Amino acid sequence: MERPAWAPQGIDITMPSVSRIYDYYLGGSHNFEVDREAARRAMEVMPGLPKIMQANRAFMRRAVRFAVDQGINQFLDIGSGIPTFGNVHEVAQQADPDARVVYVDHDAVAVAHGRAVLDGNEKAIAVAGDLRKPSDILGSSEVSGLLDLDRPVAVLLVAVLHFVEDAYDPYTAVAELRDATAPGSLIVLTHASYEGMPIPADRAGQVVGVYKDIRNPLIMRSRDEVARFFEGYDMVEPGLVPMPRWRPETAPEEEDPYTFSGFAGVGRRA
């Protein structure tokens, strides 16, 4: 398999990556044939997957604008994936030119592409890090050099927690992030769930099987299980809802049925 010129040395281009599959769903170009093959297998079962990813991104943009409206201009985007058009720094800095953004991902392609996109932007950086090790992220000199954690910050966990198995205790990881941020900080979160899907759970389970096959287990959680991530936060209206129903800019009834799969919410640290 030929290695594209943009692919960082040392990464295994024979193994699919969640962030590159996500990039493919969004119409991006930073993915390999092995990623596209896995994505196509998943889409055979659930053709609405790209719609779900687009709904995640649309929710993220609305939540970022909400945060800026609340006077928050610092963003920590963990599991950020490959920066595509309309990403956090573009939305935030359009609303507030002083907004600062740190993208964090454990995929070398995502980090390398992020750094290329952000070259020359002194208020946004991409760093390597893993949500399962929040202390490493928070202790990073790059993070502390750009963000002031004594002031409110919006922590984005968009479409990432469903890739963290219970064995890695994602609830404790989220609580560590909460405890490290100032009162008034926000958590912005989406999570996959069988609830709301327009296909039976057993069929949707075949998509879970695709991710299991590529050693990136997809963990479906119930609404109550997702709500637990917001412990210690006050929910922002309208609470934990399907993505198209969180402060929509267009009528939710016009959205694709697949976009109601899973949940989205924003919490404010008391």
Tens of pLDDT, residue by residue over 29-76, are: 889 999 999 999 999 999 999 999 999 999 999 999 999 999 999 999
User: Which structural domain, as residue segments, surrounds residue 235?
Assistant: 18-269
pLDDT of residue 1: 56
- Between 117 and 3, where is the model more confident? 117
pLDDT of residue 93: 97
| 238 belongs to a structural domain | yes
| 60 belongs to a structural domain | yes
- The total number of structural domains that make up the chain: 1
CATH number at residue 74: 3.40.50.150
| 35 belongs to a structural domain | yes
| 3 belongs to a structural domain | no
| 13 belongs to a structural domain | no
Indicate the pLDDT class of residue 4, thresholds 50, 70 and 90: low
| 6 belongs to a structural domain | no
pLDDT mean across residues, the chain: 94
pLDDT of residue 158: 98
| 211 belongs to a structural domain | yes
What are the φ/ψ torsions at residue 29 (nearest 5 degrees)? -115, 0
pTM summary value: 0.94
| 228 belongs to a structural domain | yes
